[in-house]
Amino acid sequence: MIIMKFGGTSMENAAALSRLAEIVADRRPDRPVIVVSAMAGITDRLVELASLALTGAEIYLAQALEALEKRHLEALRQIGGESEARQKIEGLCRSLRELLQGIAAVGELTPRTRDAVLSFGERLSPTLAVAALRAHGLAAHELDTRHFIVTDNQFNQAQPLYDEIQPQVQQELLPAAGDGSSDNSPLAVMGGFIGATRQGVTTTLGRGGSDFSAAILGAALNAERIEIWTDVNGMLTTDPRICPTALRIKHISFAEAAESAYYGAKVLHPATLLPAMQKNIPVWILNSRAWLPGRPDGERTGTLVSSHAPRSNTLFKCISCKRGIALVDVVSTRMLMAHGYMKAIFDAFARQSCPVDMVATSEVSVSLTVADTANLPEIADELSRFAEVRYQGKMAILCMVGENIRYRPGVAARVFDALKHINIRMISQGASEINIGVVIADEDVPAAIESLHRAFFQDPDPAIFGIESSAQAVLGSN
Ligand code: ASP
Ligand code: MG
């Protein structure tokens, strides 16, 4: 059994949906369970619809809703969907309209209601995928993910309750996904991103969460592999918009991919990897616009993420960057040798629910970076009671990731040599020993990446990197 997850761009219109059906047909012997995102852009539209409802912009709201419904119905018409599917889409759009009218009437949008609104993208899209599969001659049926993905009630960012998911998946999903004994057992199709609390209230796993759904289900089903279908040829060594010579990575370890995803690589949702990593299930990132039949092998396209990637002669796997962050310096001589100093600093960030990314300390100063700068003035205010605080926005973290650096001396010297023209504001070599991070001014990012890529990927190991032109490989989002 395998999981195939199709992102928004792999669902964006009738042409994409037909491709999806062809790809699934090719994988039919592997008994796929299919997880789909909302059509590209739909979740963003739903966010807008919710705020239109809140501001009482009735005419715009009606127009936007109509456009959303039309987009789904038009795709369905083009793939030759049945009238039952049409009714289903119309029914869902009616419920969405009622929900938005409710939001307009009470003038309030709670996180719980927001999740209800956002869930419609992934409740509408499986109907399209099922219609596309049937049009292609494949038996398929839609399952409601919310029966399987049981979560806590942290709306907008709900956490899966694995102990409850496991029995649900075994009892309900497994029989419905077919036992593989016949070629005609219908394929199970369901929306990603959404779940429900024990009481059955709809939740979402956070933006980009469909990958996470795929991994949760893959782990619960002990899938042979998880295929994440997107619109790029896999993970690349760096952002090709900044560095056109970026290369496809054929094989990367979970640890490396998680590190680089956290620091800005957009192809994979960072949390995606956890359930797959725990169960040691290989994850493939594949391009639905340029797919090849047969079991993926990484030779011509795709990236394999697995527990162990083979050793390579190339020092780093990739250079990722997280832009638009802020660097905060906290200095206090009063706290010299005193205990509890770090705690006091981090408490100030925690109280404002502000995650800290990178940290470097000396006895009297602590430098750290945050991506979310909204509450920095409040945090600085609190810290200024016992320390001197400076913060500066428009910064970026560059993160060079690779398991090979663990055993090689002189790596830092080579990094600094490549960056010798750039003002480095902070350095961190993580405890995992597989990444080196530097903080630089955001405006220096293109020059720094260009220079690092030239220094470290001039002679890429062909066992690990695809040497095809990266011109077609643009960095995607789904
Ligand atoms: N549709 C959701 C989003 O846009 C989830 C996903 O696509 O992964 O965030
Ligand atoms: Mg995505």
Model confidence pLDDT, tens digit, residues 114-155: 999 999 999 999 999 999 999 999 999 999 999 999 999 999
- Residue 324 pLDDT exceeds 90: yes
* Residues, beta carbon < 5 Å, ion ligand 2: 7, 208, 478
Ligand 2 centroid to Cα of residue 121, in Å, is 13
The CATH fold of domain 318-459: VC0802-like (3.30.2130)
Q: 8 C-alpha vs ligand 1 centroid, how far in Å?
A: 7
User: Which among 36, 39, 43, 68 is the best mutation to test ligand 1's pocket, defined by most ligand atoms within 8 Å of the CB?
Assistant: 43
pLDDT of residue 314 exceeding 80? yes
Mean pLDDT of the chain: 91
Is 207's C-beta closer than 6 angstroms to any atom of ligand 1?
yes
| Out of 367-371, 386-390, 408-412, least confident range | 408-412
Ligand 1 centroid – CA 193 distance (Å): 6
Alpha-carbon distances of 54 from 97, 108, 112, 114, 156, rounded to whole Å: 13, 7, 15, 11, 18
What pLDDT does residue 9 have? Answer: 95
Can you tell me the mean pLDDT for 80-96?
A: 96
Given CATH 3.40.1160.10, say whether it is the number of domain 2-230.
Answer: yes
How high is the pLDDT of residue 475?
44
pLDDT of the residue at 270: 61
Average of pLDDT values for 251-275? Answer: 79
pLDDT surpassing 80 at residue 334: no
40 Cα: distance to centroid of ligand 2 (angstroms): 10
Cβ 192 under 6 angstroms from ligand 1? yes
| Predicted confidence band of residue 177 (pLDDT cuts 50, 70, 90) | confident
Strand, helix or coil for residue 332: coil
Residue 282's pLDDT band, with cuts at 50, 70 and 90, is: very high
- Asked if residue 471 has pLDDT above 50, the reply is no
**Residues 419-457 as b or e (16 or more Cβ within 10 Å = b):** beebebbbebbeeeebbbbbbbbeebbeebbbbbbeebb
Indicate whether 43 pLDDT > 80.
yes
37 C-beta closer than 6 A to ligand 1: yes
pTM of this prediction exceeds 0.85 = yes
Q: Quick check: helix, strand or coil at residue 227?
A: strand
Residue spans in the chain of domains classed CATH 3.30.2130.10 = 318-459
Give the mean model confidence (pLDDT) for residues 181-208.
Answer: 91
User: Per-residue pLDDT for 49 more than 70?
Assistant: yes
In 3D, which of 196, 201, 215 has the Cα closest to residue 147? Answer: 196
Could you tell me the distance, in angstroms and rounded to a whole number, from the CA of residue 205 to the centre of ligand 1? 9
The ranges of the chain annotated as CATH 3.40.1160.10 are 2-230
Asked if residues 288 and 230 have their Cβ atoms less than 8 Å apart, the reply is yes
Ligand 1 pocket test: pick from 35, 203, 204, 207 the residue with the most ligand atoms within 8 Å of its Cβ. Answer: 207
